[in-house]
Structure 1
Amino acid sequence: MSLVTHLPALQVATPLVAALFVAIVGRRSFAYAVLVLVSLASFASAVTLTIEVLNQGPISYEMGGWAPPWGIEYRIDLLTCLALLLVSGIAAICAPYAPASISAEIPEKRIPSFVAMYLLALAGLSGMVATGDAFNIYVFIEITSLSTYALVAMGPDRRALSAAFQYLIIGTIGATFILIGIGLIYMMTGTLNIADLAQRLPAVEGSRVVVAGFAFLVIGLAIKIALFPLHVWLPNAYAFAPSLVSAFQAATATKVGIYVLLRFIVSVFGASYAFDAMPLGWTLIPFAVLAMFAGSLVAIFQVDVKRLLAYSSVAQIGYIMLGLALGNQHGVSAALIHLINHGVMKAALFLALGLIAVRLGGTRLEHLQGLGRTMPVTAAAIVIGGLSLIGVPLTSGFISKWYLVSATLDAGMWPLAVLVMASSLLAVIYVWRLVETMYFRAPVEGAAEACAGPSNPWLAWPAWFAAALCIYLGIDTRATAGLAELATRALIGGA
C-alpha cells in the first residue's frame, strides 16, 4: 500500500503529531524547522490529493479499517481539495515568514508553545475539511478554536488577552450551537457519517427536530464565519493577534467555516431542502448585503490598518455568503472562487503589515506614512492587495466580482448586482486612504532610518509572492474558477 493511499489521514495526523513533538522538545530551532517542513509537506500532500481526485474521482479513507458508516471516514472530493489547497497553500506561504515574525513578537520561552498551537490550528482546519463524519467536524472545530484562542492571546499588545477572551466566549457559543445541531440530527437518523446522513434525512426531514437541528447548525456556523451581525469577535482577534496568526487566520479560518456550512447545506440536508423547504436563501441574503455595506463603512473610519482589514473581511464574507445564498450552481461557484481569492489577498495584506510592524513598530496609519518611499515594494504589495479587494481588472478580486455579478443576473436578481458594485465603491475609499497615506504623506520621524538597509527576505518575499499571486489568479483562472466550477458541478449535481 503506497504512501499516497494514506495521504487523507496524514494531512491531519502530520501537523497533529508534529505539535506534540514541538511541545515536548521545547527548542526554538527545532520548532521552526518542524513548522516549515510540516507546512510545505501539507501543501505537497494537498496537491497530490487534488491530482488523484481529478484523475480517479473522490477518495474514501476508512480509519482503522472500519467501513463507514460504522467507522470514521475521511472523504476527499473536489470541494475538499479546494479547501485543502487554500489552508495548506497559505500555511506554505507563511512558513518562511514564520521564524522571523515569531522571533520579533513572541518571547523566546513561549516560542515552542506558540508553534505547537499553530500546528494544532493547521491540523484542526485540515481535519474539518477532510473528515466525512459530522461529530468529527465538531471535534476539529474545537481543536482549531482552542489553539487559536491561545495564539491570539500571545499577541504583543496587552489587549490581545481581552480579544482572546471575547473570541473564546463567542466561539464557545457558536460551537455549542453546532454540537446541539449535530446531536439533533443524530437523534433523528442514528448516524453521523455525512454520506449516510444524506440518505437517511429525507425520510425525517419534515420533523421539527430536523428543522431545529438545521437552524442550530446554520446559526452556530454563522458565528464561526463572522457573518454580520455575529462578527463582533473578529476585529479584535485580527487586530491584536501576532502578525503570523492574523495572516493565517484571516486567510483560512472563516473560509473553512464557510466550507463546513456549504457541506452541511448541500451534502447533508440537500440544496432543495435548504433553499426550497427552508427559506435559507432569503434569510441569508439580507445579512450578506448588510455585511457588504456595514463592514466597508466601518473600515473607512479605522486608524489601525489591521482593524481596517478586519472589517473589510466582514464585507468580503458578505460577498461569499451572497453567492452561497443564491442556491444555484453559478452562485456557489462564485462563492468558492471568492473564498480562494479573498484568502490569498488577505494573506498578502496581513503579511505585508507584519513586515511593517517589525520594522516600524506598529500598523496604525501613521506607520504607513511615506511607505512608498521608505519601503516601496511592500507598499506596492499593499496596493495590489487593495486593488484586489476593490475588484480592479487583472486582479483576482475582479474575477470574484465578475462571477458574483453574473450569478445574480443569471438568478434574475439584478438589484443585488447593483448592490455588489455599489459596495465595491466603498472599498475604493478605504483603499485610497492607504494609498494616500503611503504615497502622498511624508514619513514620520525616524521611519527612514528604521527602513534603511535591505528587508529581511524571509519576512518580505512571502508578502510579495502572495501579492503577485493576486495578479496571476486574476489572469489565469484555471486554478480557481476552473476547479471551483468542477467542484460545484460535482456537488450540486450529486445533490
Structure 2
Amino acid sequence: MSVASSGFSVMANLPALQVVVPMIAAPICIFLKPKGLAWAFALLVSVLAFWISVTLLQQVLADGFISYEMGGWAPPIGIEYRVDKVNAFVLLIVSAMSLIALPYARVAVDREIPADKQHLFYAAWLLCLTGMLGITITGDAFNIFVFLEIASLSTYVLIASGRDPRALTASFQYLILGTLGATFILIGVGLLYVMTGTLNIADLAERVPAVADTAPVRAAAGFLTVGIALKAALFPAHFWLPNGYAYSPSAVSVFLSATATKVSIYLLLRVQFTLFGDVSYGDFALANMLLPFALVAFVVGSTAAIFQQDIKRMLAWSSIAQIGYMIAGIGLGSVEGVTAGIVHLFNHALIKAALFMCVGAVFLRTGGVQLQQFEGLGRRMPLTMFAFVLAGLSLVGVPLTVGFVSKWYLVLAALQTGITGYFITAMILFSSLMAVIYIWRVVEVAYFRDPDPEAPRQEAPLMMLVPMYLLVIGFFWFGIDSEFTVGVAREAALQLMGIGQ
C-alpha cells in the first residue's frame, strides 16, 4: 500500500508522525523546566508514539506493507518510509518500552539526576526514541546512518547523565566504539551506492543480486555486518555494553536494555536477508557466519555474569548471552530460526526491563547494587524481590514464561539442522543452567540471609512497582499464549526470507 505525504489526514501520515512527534517534542522539553513538567510531556509523547505503532502494526497485518513518500518524490528517487511486518513489530517494542519505562523513571530520575538537568534528560530520552524509531521505519540506507547518529549521540548523553563519575568513562567508551561502528556502516552504504546507484532499501534489494559476487558488494556486506555487530554488542564487539548498562542511571538501563540492541538486531536482520540474502563466502551464506559468534556469546556472557558482584553488571553480561540467542536464530538461516530470533527480541525486552527495574528499585532504597546489599531484601522489599525472582525464572526459560517460548523455538530450529543442531541445543541448555547459577546467587542472598537489623522495611514506590508488575504480567501472558508474538514473528520471518510473498 502506497501513501503520499501530501495528504492532511492524520491516519494517512502516521509513518511520518511516528518519527516527527518525538523529534519535535525533544527540543520542547528543554523549555519545560518546572519540576515534573518535562516528564509528563515525554510520557504523553510516548503514549502517542505507542498508539501510532499499534495502528501501523494493525494496518500492515491487514493490508501488507505501507510505502510513505516524503516530499512528493516517489521512491526510489525520493526518500521513503516503509512499514512492513518486520519493522512494525520492532516499532511496537521500542514505543511500548519507552511508555512503560517513563512512569518508572519519574522516581528514579528524581533520585539520580540533578533537578536542574532533568528537563535536558527527557529531551535526550525523546531524541533517543526518535533515532531508534527512525532507524526502524526508514526505507533509505543513508537515513539509517542519520538516525543511528541521532540515537547514538543522545544515548551517550543519557549514559553520562547520572551522578556516578564512572558513567562518563562508560559513555566515552561507547562513543569510541559507536563511532567506529557508524563509520563501518557508512562505508558499507557508500559501497552499495557505488555499485547500484541507489540508496532505497527496496530498490537495493532488487539490484544487489545482480552484483552479489563482486568484491565491493562483499566488502559492503562485511562492513555493514561488523558495524551493526558493534552497535548490537555481539561478541567480540561487546565491550561497551557492561559499563554502559552498569553505570548509567537506572531508568536509562531499563530503556536501553529493552530497546537499543533490539533495534540493532532488527537492522542486522534487514541487512542479512533483505540486502545480502544472495551474498555468500564459499559454501557459507553471510548469515550463517554469525552462528559461531553467537554460540561463544552464550558461554562468555553467562560465565562472566556468574562472577559479577555488581548486579547491574551481572544483568549486562547476561544481555550479551541473550543477544547471542537472537543472533543464533539469524545464523541458522531458516524460517524457524529467524522466527525464534524475532520472538526473542520482544521477550527479552520484557524480561530484561523488569530485571533492571528491580535492581533500580534496590538502588533507590539501599544506595547500591552490590550483591551484599541484597542481603535480606526478600523481607525488606518483598514485592520487588518477588518480581526479580519471576523475571529470573523467565530469563532461565521456565515453562509458562516468555523465556521458555524463545528457547523452545530456537531449539526446534536448531534440531532441524541435523547433528550440528544437537551441539547448538546443548549450548543453549548449558547457558540456561549458568543463568540459574547467577540468578540463584541473588535469590540466595535476598531470601536466605538475615537483613541488617537496623535497616527499615521499605518497599519500592508504587510508581516503580506498577510498571515492574506490568512487565511481569506480560511475560507470563505471552508465555502462556504466544499466538500473537510467534504469529507476527513467523510472518515477519517469511517476509524477510521472501517466502510466500
TM-score by length of 1: 0.97
Pair 247,51 (structure 1): closer, same or farther in 2 beyond 3 Å: same
What letter is aligned with 1:422? F
In structure 1, the residue corresponding to 2:279 is in which secondary structure?
helix
* Superposed counterparts of 1:22-41, under 5 Å: 22-41=29-48
Alignment partner of 1:219 out of 217, 226, 247: 226
Cα distance in 2 for partners of 1:222, 1:81 equals 22
What letter is aligned with 2:495? A
Pair 226,446 (structure 1): closer, same or farther in 2 beyond 3 Å: farther
Q: Does 1:482 align with 2:490?
A: no
What letter is aligned with 1:203? A
Tell me the equivalent position of 1:186: 193
Cα distance in 2 for partners of 1:446, 1:155 equals 28
In structure 2, the residue corresponding to 1:96 is in which secondary structure?
helix
Q: Does 1:14 align with 2:21?
A: yes
Tell me the equivalent position of 1:424: 432
Q: Does 1:367 align with 2:370?
A: no
Tell me the equivalent position of 2:95: 88
Q: Does 1:317 align with 2:318?
A: no
Alignment partner of 1:353 out of 341, 353, 359: 359
In structure 2, the residue corresponding to 1:61 is in which secondary structure?
strand
Asked if the contact 1:40/1:95 (under 8 Å) is kept, the reply is: no
Q: Deviations over 1:304-336 (max 9, x none)?
A: 100000000000011111111001100000000
Structure 1: which 5+ runs fail to align? none
Cα distance in 2 for partners of 1:276, 1:68 equals 34
What letter is aligned with 2:308? Q
Asked if the contact 2:288/2:333 (under 8 Å) is kept, the reply is: no
Tell me the equivalent position of 1:306: 312
* Superposed counterparts of 1:87-106, under 5 Å: 87-106=94-113
In structure 2, the residue corresponding to 1:95 is in which secondary structure?
helix
Asked if the contact 1:296/1:427 (under 8 Å) is kept, the reply is: yes
Cα distance in 1 for partners of 2:95, 2:465 equals 20
Alignment partner of 1:464 out of 456, 461, 469: 469
What letter is aligned with 1:226? A
Alignment partner of 1:136 out of 143, 151, 161: 143
Q: Does 1:151 align with 2:186?
A: no
Pair 52,436 (structure 1): closer, same or farther in 2 beyond 3 Å: same
Tell me the equivalent position of 2:385: 379
Which piece of structure 1 moves more, 299-308 or 55-64? Answer: 55-64
Alignment partner of 1:200 out of 202, 207, 222: 207
Asked if the contact 1:378/1:464 (under 8 Å) is kept, the reply is: no
Tell me the equivalent position of 2:4: none
Which piece of structure 1 moves more, 22-31 or 7-16? Answer: 22-31
What letter is aligned with 2:215? R
In structure 2, the residue corresponding to 1:42 is in which secondary structure?
helix
In structure 1, the residue corresponding to 2:497 is in which secondary structure?
helix
Q: Deviations over 1:261-285 (max 9, x none)?
A: 1101111222x43587754244211
Q: Deviations over 1:211-258 (max 9, x none)?
A: 111100000011110011110000000000001100000111001000
Query: Shift in Å at residue 403 of structure 1?
Result: 0.2
Cα distance in 1 for partners of 2:195, 2:152 equals 28
Q: Does 1:491 align with 2:499?
A: no
Tell me the equivalent position of 2:405: 399
Asked if the contact 2:213/2:279 (under 8 Å) is kept, the reply is: no
Cα distance in 1 for partners of 2:406, 2:12 equals 34
In structure 1, the residue corresponding to 2:398 is in which secondary structure?
coil
TM-score by length of 2: 0.95
In structure 1, the residue corresponding to 2:67 is in which secondary structure?
strand
Cα distance in 1 for partners of 2:182, 2:54 equals 30
Cα distance in 1 for partners of 2:184, 2:215 equals 16
What number of residue pairs does the alignment pair up? 491
Cα distance in 1 for partners of 2:41, 2:56 equals 22
Cα distance in 2 for partners of 1:275, 1:4 equals 44
What letter is aligned with 1:198? A
Pair 27,268 (structure 1): closer, same or farther in 2 beyond 3 Å: farther
Cα distance in 2 for partners of 1:172, 1:277 equals 32
Cα distance in 1 for partners of 2:453, 2:236 equals 40
* Superposed counterparts of 1:215-364, under 5 Å: 215-270=222-277, 272-274=278-280, 279-364=285-370
Tell me the equivalent position of 1:437: 445
Query: Shift in Å at residue 81 of structure 1?
Result: 1.1
Structure 2: which 5+ runs fail to align? 1-7
Cα distance in 2 for partners of 1:24, 1:276 equals 57
Query: Shift in Å at residue 490 of structure 1?
Result: 2.1
Structure having the higher helix fraction is: 1
Cα distance in 1 for partners of 2:148, 2:281 equals 25
Asked if the contact 1:250/1:343 (under 8 Å) is kept, the reply is: yes
Asked if the contact 2:272/2:287 (under 8 Å) is kept, the reply is: no
Query: Shift in Å at residue 455 of structure 1?
Result: 3.6
Q: Deviations over 1:387-439 (max 9, x none)?
A: 11110111110000000000001122221111111211111100110110111
In structure 1, the residue corresponding to 2:71 is in which secondary structure?
helix
In structure 2, the residue corresponding to 1:302 is in which secondary structure?
coil
Cα distance in 2 for partners of 1:389, 1:169 equals 31
In structure 1, the residue corresponding to 2:36 is in which secondary structure?
helix
Query: Shift in Å at residue 259 of structure 1?
Result: 0.2
Asked if the contact 2:312/2:356 (under 8 Å) is kept, the reply is: yes
